[in-house]
A and B are shown apart, each in its own frame.
Chain A
Amino acid sequence: MSIDTNTSSHRRMPRFGLQGCTCLGILLVAAIGLLTLHDQVTVFDFGDPGPDARFFPRLVLWLLALGAVLRLWRHRRTAETAIGPAVSWIRVLFVMMLMAVALATMPMLGFIITVATIGIVLAWLLGERHWLFNVALPLIVTIAIFWAGRHLLNLPLP
């Protein structure tokens, strides 16, 4: 989702807010889908009757685009939720980025290190400063889950 953080300077309940942004995002995704439809869906010819593999995606994506436009138009005058302070968005994006990095490095660093890091940073962001809950709790939970996953559930955790 492409969220423009500049609009956060608007006052409460702006004319164009989070809902509008979301609909624009949906419209964008549907448009990309329709443009890449031909390349992304190969069709074999077994001589089958009825719609082919491209029919259903095309229908759904057009309906999606139509729905997004309809919603934008119908709610063009309604007040929407403000996008919110940039600091909060940065915090969320930071958490997402952290998890993405953890995910990418998990095959190298292993489950315990990466996932415990996520837990520790998250606890810190949520305002926990006591070492016991900030560091020890996520670490212990991760190790416990890792052990249970490996030995009781037979999962090949990295």
Chain B
Amino acid sequence: MLLDAFHALLDVWVLIAALVGVAVGIVIGAIPGLGPTLAIALLIPVTFTMSPIPSLILLLGVYQGAIFGGSISAILLNVPGTPSSAATALDGHPMARQGRAGEALRIALYASVFGNIFSCLVLIVLAQPLASLALDFGPAQMAALMTFALIIIVLFGGGSILDAALMALIGVAAGIIGLDPIEGLPRFTFGSFAAEDGLALIPVLIGLFAMSEVLLQAFAGKQKTAPDTDIGPVSGSGTSNRPVGWLTLWKMRATLMVSSIIGTLVGILPGIGSTVPAFVSYNLARSRSRDPARFGKGEPEGVAAPEAANNAVTGGALVPMLSLGIPGDAVTAVILGAFMLQGLTPGPFLFQQHGVEVYAIFEALILLSIPCVVFGLAMFRGAVHIIKIRPRHLFPVIAILAIFGAYSVNNSLFDVAVMLGAGGIGFVLRRAGFPLPPLLIGLILGPPLEQSLRQALLTSAGSADIFLQSPIAMGLLAVTLLCVLGVIIRRYRHTHQGDAS
């Protein structure tokens, strides 16, 4: 079967589809606001006349390329191109500032490829059993998992836990605006119809990270342009970039593995997406590190962890989509439509009826790493020079892109207004030194957390026993509790040692 599938790939159209898909994906991903969903939806009509394997490889290439592409702008400009690359910016951009942009980009690329190959192998070997694991996660288990993720983000983000908790709560509170997930009635929309959709993630992301950067520059004014651009010898492939070889990756093997596993598992579960696993693996890598203080100041592992995780999500997300016909997010829902149009209806019969095509696509997903690396390395040569552009030339362009990106999500000017508001708030919070990642995660997890919690209580007739009867939910809640206790004990010891010395 695997060999037959490989034969099906030996076709010039497959190669062309892979190259075009990855290239389009990287470019789309690098532009803030534009994501794989839009690109794939636009390419679907193009694939009407193509045969199944090349057309699906084209679309999956876009998916993979876009997730990696987001990290390019995150590292070079501190403006994440996609939500999932926001975590990459935490260490990637400081590295770029130190003149190690090339190194950061290569680590991001190799970590992406690692996460991707890992999750595809999991997909090939374990698609069916993992799909049934996904089904074990009902509302109660999801609520426990999301509580766990939220606590990890607050506890292990570095800096003040109180500040992080405050930011996460702001995110959750912002998520309340819009239609209530259970009864479908407007909440805090103040009579505005446009607000019923709530604050969409991508406009908020662009506002918090891109527009606030523009406002910080405006705050600094023209006097402070010189020191920023001239930090260190900013040369693309210059001497300050340490070469990234197998040894570097081998040193990070534990981080890469843990992050890939987190990404794959979260990818299998519907509705969480790739941003949360990226931040969770970043925080875990930080808390496991011997020298956590270096995180946030240009630590290569801080780039590798989120990139491995968010790319591992792609393979994971395909597991329930292919074996059950249940898409986990907007991107996989669009890909599901593309599969159906090619006559490959995802679901229980897909593997029986179209085994060769499906395995060919799996193998292609792994082989897509090759154009990813080739394009990535080729683009880096040019891309690293972006960091040399003067702020007064760069930031007007970022502002223009931010407005365009926010508009493109829903074709609505309300989203641009949301982006602007988030930019103002992000500006104040960044100046005051509050951490923004918990806010973003709170906004992402708040609405589904409330929904799962209330769904669980609806199914159990209002009784909290539903959390105690499920081993998965119990386990997750116990681990969450242990984490909280662990941090409290460590803090306690720390202060006591501090008193003694």
Contacts and interface: CB of A to CB of B under 8 A. Distances in A.
Interface of A: 1, 3, 18-19, 21-23, 25-26, 29-30, 33, 36, 40-44, 46, 48-53, 56-57, 60-61, 63-64, 67-68, 70-71, 74, 80-81, 84, 87-89, 91-92, 95-96, 99-100, 103, 106-107, 115-116, 118-120, 122-123, 125-128, 133, 137-138, 141-142, 145, 149, 152-158
Nearest to B165: A67
B169 A64 contact: yes
Interface string B424-437: 11011101111000
A149 B408 contact: yes
Contacts of B392: 123, 126-128, 133
B454 interface: yes
A60 B397 contact: no
Contact of B221 (A29, A56, A81, A88): A88
Contact of A53 (B187, B399, B411, B446): B187
B32 to A, nearest CB: 12
25 contacts: A1-B424, A3-B428, A21-B432, A26-B166, A33-B188, A49-B457, A53-B182, A56-B454, A60-B446, A63-B169, A71-B163, A74-B162, A80-B432, A84-B219, A91-B221, A100-B420, A115-B403, A115-B404, A120-B396, A122-B395, A126-B218, A128-B393, A133-B393, A152-B42, A153-B408
Nearest to B189: A40
Interface string B15-38: 000000000000000000010001
Max chain B Cβ within 10 angstroms of own Cβ: one of A29, A91, A157: A91
Nearest to B455: A50
Contact of B182 (A48, A103, A118, A152): A48
B183 interface: yes
Given A53-B180, A119-B399, 20 more contacts: A36-B188, A41-B187, A42-B186, A51-B453, A53-B183, A60-B172, A89-B219, A103-B417, A103-B420, A118-B396, A119-B396, A125-B218, A138-B400, A141-B400, A142-B400, A145-B400, A149-B408, A155-B411, A157-B407, A158-B413
Contacts of A51: 453-454, 457
Contacts of A157: 404, 407
B42 A145 contact: no
B214 interface: yes
B458 A96 contact: no
Interface string B415-459: 011001001110111011110000000000010001001100110
A158 to B, nearest CB: 8
For the residues of B in contact with A, the DSSP-based class is: helix
Nearest to B179: A53
Contacts of B408: 149, 153, 155
Given A30-B173, A145-B404, A99 B397 contact: no
B393 A41 contact: no
For the residues of A in contact with B, the DSSP-based class is: helix
A106 B117 CA distance: 45
Interface residues of B, number: 67
- State the 9 A-B residue pairs at the shortest beta-carbon distance, nearest first: A127-B222, A50-B457, A49-B462, A126-B392, A119-B396, A18-B432, A53-B180, A122-B396, A123-B396
Given A56-B176, A103-B417, A137-B396, A125 B221 contact: yes
A10 B427 CA distance: 21
Contacts of B172: 60
B170 A64 contact: yes
Contacts of A125: 218, 221-222
A156 to B, nearest CB: 6
A155 B172 CA distance: 31
A100 B404 CA distance: 14
Given A18-B432, A122-B399, A126-B225, A137 B393 contact: yes
A54 B223 CA distance: 49
B271 interface: no
B214 A95 contact: yes
Contacts of A126: 217-218, 221-222, 225, 391-392, 395-396
Contacts of B428: 1, 3, 18, 22, 25
A96 B396 contact: no
Contact of B396 (A50, A64, A138, A153): A138
A138 B163 CA distance: 38
